[in-house]
């Protein structure tokens, strides 16, 4: 590439996932501990959640790979009463984003369902031009 490309919507999506996936993994791990301690036969549930954790970790590895290839770096992340604020660099450009807790909760819920192998097609929006489709 002979010129710097501004930060794209795809880059922003990867930053959102970079912020979201550690929260999802932590929630799965917390739920695993709770189930282990409170159910009489936790094994099937724990096994299912551990598979979901592995899928989420695999996605996180792919996101880190994309970060490296695209020159993306989140250099600051702060939790506030409203959500998470992140500052990042991409191909020499600096930007920031704030993800509200309501948004994070909704996105985490959908992605957790995906990692658990549940049908999430009702959450996907495939109307309009293909580049605007919302997929998980």
Given a contact cutoff of 8 angstroms between Cβ atoms, the answer to whether 97 and 72 are in contact is no
Given this model, what pLDDT does residue 5 score? 66
Cα-Cα-Cα-Cα dihedral sign, residues 63, 124, 44, 26: positive
pLDDT in tens, 21-39: 999 999 999 999 999 999 9
pLDDT in tens, 59-93: 999 999 999 999 999 999 999 999 999 999 998 89
Given this model, what pLDDT does residue 136 score? 73
Q: How far is CA 45 from CA 23, 42, 97, 120, in A?
A: 20, 5, 35, 20
Residue 87's beta-bridge partner residues? 76, 96
Give CA–CA dist 67/63, Å, rounded. Answer: 6
The answer to pTM > 0.85 is yes
Confidence of residue 114 (pLDDT cuts 50, 70, 90): very high
Give CA–CA dist 70/122, Å, rounded. Answer: 31
Which residue, among 21, 30, 98, 108, has the nearest Cα to 61 in the 3D structure? 21
- The CA R_g of the chain, rounded to the nearest whole Å, is 17
What's phi and psi for 94, nearest 5 deg? -105, 145
Give CA–CA dist 111/100, Å, rounded. Answer: 16
């Amino acid at each position: 590439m002979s010129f710097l490309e501004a930060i794209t919507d795809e880059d922003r999506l990867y930053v959102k996932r970079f912020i979201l996936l550690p929260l999802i993994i932590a929630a799965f791990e917390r739920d695993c501990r709770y189930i282990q301690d409170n159910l009489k036969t936790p094994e099937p549930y724990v096994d299912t959640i551990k598979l979901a954790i592995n899928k989420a970790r695999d996605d996180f590895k792919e996101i880190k790979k994309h970060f490296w290839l695209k020159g993306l770096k989140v250099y600051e992340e702060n939790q506030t009463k409203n959500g998470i604020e992140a500052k990042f660099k991409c191909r020499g450009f600096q930007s920031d984003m704030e993800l509200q807790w309501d948004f994070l909760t909704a996105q985490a819920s959908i992605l957790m369902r995906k990692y658990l192998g549940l049908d999430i097609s009702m959450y996907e929006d495939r109307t309009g031009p293909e580049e605007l489709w919302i997929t998980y």
